[in-house]
Structure 1
Amino acid sequence: MDCRPVAVVGYENAELLDIACVTTSLDMANGLGELRTPYRVMVVSPGQRAISCRPGMVLRSTHALERLTGPLDTMIVSGGFGYAEAAADPLIVAHIQRLARISRRVASVCTGARILAAAGLLDGKRATTHWWFADALAAQYPGVDVDPDPIFIRDGKISTAAGITSAQDLTLAFIEEDHGVELARMVSRMLVTYLQRPGNQAQMSMFTAAPPPGHDALRRAVDHVNADLAGDIGTTALAAVAGVSPRHLTRLFLTHMGQTPGRFVREVRVAAAAHLVVSTSLPLADVAARCGLASAETLRLAFVRRYGIPPSQYRARHRSARS
């Protein structure tokens, strides 16, 4: 092939950012890289109908889904609030199956994972989707190993991204794979974005997770955790700060945060440690102490469990990406 055909599949009520993060990043790579095999980006929809996107925007399609032929380098199925109708449409599902067979890579963004699952493409595979929709995907497709934490997952030729801007992270990873890290860095700089969040970075972190408004006891506990990572922030101590019993605090965390107080504390400590590992030159033992982890070895084990690599490698990788 003298180009890399990429089909970005949309449908009624697809999410515009799911599509634009992919198409803009690939077009930027074409413009910056003087590529031997540039990307030929196609926006595909059933019947080549215009794609209505919230709120009131309409995106022109360049190709009809049912008429598209291959081979394709990559097919990416977008998410959006129309995902359920798209996943239930036998025409869309059949053509996703057909195009997957002639694509080198297949990917989804956000709720587009539901469409891949309906096509049987995620059976026996580890996959992610937007955290809000992860439980529903797992319940409807028990043969899919749904992990709601990472921003994207690659399992063989299939990739799934968490949603919205994570489409850009996945696309940058594709550009790096196809054309090297320097082009991916250049694209990210032109887009004024971070290069590039690793796929195993959490969708939710200490910087984005917060209790819902109106739950003062829970908010007091969460604020206390974030303010005193090295202190006593066990469930009993947090319950005292919140002014409720440990049992009631656990119920509040499970209901509104989706996890126990103990797990929340562990995740916040590791997220804070990851921030310090990348943003400072502190010895790892000092990072561990500041974040309430017992030792550098405890920190190492926590990183391997959460990110799949030790903190020293995490530091080297992220600093390299920033340079």
Structure 2
Amino acid sequence: MDAERRRIGFLLFDGVKALDFVGPAEVFSEANLATEAYEILFFSPTGEGVEAFMGLRLGVDGAAADSGPLDTVIIPGSELAPAVFDDPELRAAILSLSQRSRRVASICSGAFGLAATGLLDGFPATTHWKFADMLADRYPLVAVDSERIYTRQGDIYTSAGVAAGIDLALALLEEDLGTDVARSVAQHLLVYMRRSAGQSQFSAALKLPAPRTPLAQAVAEYVSNDPTRPTTVTGLAAHVNVSPRHLTRVIREELGVTPSAYIATLRLELAVNQLENGRTVAESAAAAGFSSAAALRRAFVDRYRTTPSAYQRRFRASSVTDAPSPVEDDLPSPA
């Protein structure tokens, strides 16, 4: 084996979520088609095969204690978290592998494994949003951020679930071999390359509960079909043949927001999509129904704590470092 190949080790265990390690492993495997830069290895705490959460039996290359030096160790997650990481053998394997590796990464609830060994104490970390509160409660020394899709502190990385593991693997690949290789791998895998670490786990629209009643569904469909058209509560109420007061009550009960706030959320989501597709701030504002680029900037800063321009640069950069602070002259002028 070429001594210069980077050894990437995945720690597998009973109950592991297959997508958490298969996705990132495919990123490095795809890179090998052009570069042969990586040796991809799979370990378990004992060296015995394991059974994934889905029931699939998996063989491994050996025991964690016999791994030898590694460039990177990746700890996938499990639907059985956090209890699965209470196993002393699994914790010992995580600690053993981390001590032999240049960098350590977790996918989804694998963050519980890093936290259990103290590797995340005092550091920012993320995990799948459904595990975030449990992680914060169990490990108060960890600065849990459920919004970010991945984090980096020195040579320790954490990521949210499944797709975010691929984002993190692409970021590590870019760090190792450069943007061109990472972009090529992303293209071959038919995934986005440029989701940055600071990008939210949620789209704006997905933060709202799905409408249940026919009235709320009709409103959602009307707004979603064309968020750019001028829309008022009175106009919406007329469209669905109810009073503005009744409409407001139903939308509040269904979605937890006012009709105006719901419209604003949908428009902001559309603007984000436009920015990610390379449109300018002014073009994105117009396509999403904002009155001006400045109005979009104000809404963007209020929701995402950054400007559209800064978000777009971050999205293009595909950096594993923390998102840059907004550029001062990108910020909207005070109203």
TM-score (structure 1 length as normaliser) = 0.80
Q: Is the 8 A contact 1:211 1:222 kept in 2?
A: no
Supply the AA of the counterpart residue of 1:297. A
Query: Is residue 2:285 matched to residue 1:291?
Result: no
| TM-aligned CA distance change 1:301 to 1:51, over 3 Å | farther
Instruction: Tell me which residue corresponds to 1:15.
Output: 17
Q: Which moved more, 1:193-202 or 1:9-18?
A: 193-202
Give me the whole-angstrom Cα distance separating, in 1, the residues matched to 2:144 and 2:258.
20
Give me the whole-angstrom Cα distance separating, in 1, the residues matched to 2:122 and 2:260.
31
Question: Pick from 119, 122, 125: which aligns with 1:124?
Answer: 122
Query: Is residue 2:62 matched to residue 1:41?
Result: no
Question: Pick from 189, 197, 216: which aligns with 2:187?
Answer: 189
* SS at 2:15 equivalent: coil
Q: CA deviation at 1:290?
A: 4.4
Q: CA deviation at 1:182?
A: 0.7
After superposition, residues 176-255 of structure 1 pair within 5 angstroms as 176-206=174-204, 208=206, 211-212=209-210, 214-216=212-214, 218-220=216-218, 222-223=220-221, 225-227=223-225, 229=227, 231=230, 243=246, 246=249, 249-250=251-252, 252-253=254-255
Q: Which has the larger radius of gyration?
A: 2
Q: CA deviation at 1:111?
A: 1.0
Give me the whole-angstrom Cα distance separating, in 2, the residues matched to 1:302 and 1:207.
14
* SS at 1:205 equivalent: coil
| TM-aligned CA distance change 1:132 to 1:104, over 3 Å | same
Q: CA deviation at 1:199?
A: 2.3
Instruction: Tell me which residue corresponds to 1:101.
Output: 99
Supply the AA of the counterpart residue of 1:296. A
Deviations 1:202-239 (A, max 9, x none): 222156556357455554554455346454568xx899
Give me the whole-angstrom Cα distance separating, in 2, the residues matched to 1:304 and 1:320.
20
Instruction: Tell me which residue corresponds to 1:25.
Output: 27
Give me the whole-angstrom Cα distance separating, in 1, the residues matched to 2:317 and 2:67.
40
Q: Is the 8 A contact 1:206 1:272 kept in 2?
A: no
Give me the whole-angstrom Cα distance separating, in 2, the residues matched to 1:65 and 1:18.
18
Give me the whole-angstrom Cα distance separating, in 1, the residues matched to 2:186 and 2:269.
23
| TM-aligned CA distance change 1:181 to 1:47, over 3 Å | same
Q: Is the 8 A contact 1:200 1:307 kept in 2?
A: no
Unaligned runs of 5+ in 1: none
Supply the AA of the counterpart residue of 1:7. G
Q: CA deviation at 1:297?
A: 3.0
Q: Which moved more, 1:4-13 or 1:200-209?
A: 200-209
Give me the whole-angstrom Cα distance separating, in 1, the residues matched to 2:258 and 2:141.
27
Unaligned runs of 5+ in 2: 319-335
Deviations 1:31-57 (A, max 9, x none): 2125xxx22211111212222124331
After superposition, residues 42-57 of structure 1 pair within 5 angstroms as 42-57=41-56
Instruction: Tell me which residue corresponds to 1:135.
Output: 133
Q: Which moved more, 1:132-141 or 1:20-29?
A: 132-141
| TM-aligned CA distance change 1:144 to 1:306, over 3 Å | farther
How many aligned residue pairs are there? 311
Q: CA deviation at 1:251?
A: 5.4
Q: Is the 8 A contact 1:220 1:241 kept in 2?
A: no
Q: CA deviation at 1:168?
A: 1.1
Q: Is the 8 A contact 2:44 2:62 kept in 1?
A: yes
After superposition, residues 107-118 of structure 1 pair within 5 angstroms as 107-118=105-116
Q: Is the 8 A contact 2:205 2:265 kept in 1?
A: no
Give me the whole-angstrom Cα distance separating, in 2, the residues matched to 1:266 and 1:141.
36
Q: Is the 8 A contact 2:15 2:84 kept in 1?
A: no
| TM-aligned CA distance change 1:242 to 1:181, over 3 Å | farther
Deviations 1:117-143 (A, max 9, x none): 222222222221112222222232232
| TM-aligned CA distance change 1:206 to 1:313, over 3 Å | closer
After superposition, residues 147-166 of structure 1 pair within 5 angstroms as 147-166=145-164
Q: Which moved more, 1:107-116 or 1:126-135?
A: 126-135
Instruction: Tell me which residue corresponds to 1:311.
Output: 308
TM-score (structure 2 length as normaliser) = 0.77
Give me the whole-angstrom Cα distance separating, in 1, the residues matched to 2:71 and 2:294.
43
Give me the whole-angstrom Cα distance separating, in 2, the residues matched to 1:305 and 1:33.
43
| TM-aligned CA distance change 1:290 to 1:157, over 3 Å | same
Q: CA deviation at 1:21?
A: 0.9
Instruction: Tell me which residue corresponds to 2:88.
Output: 90
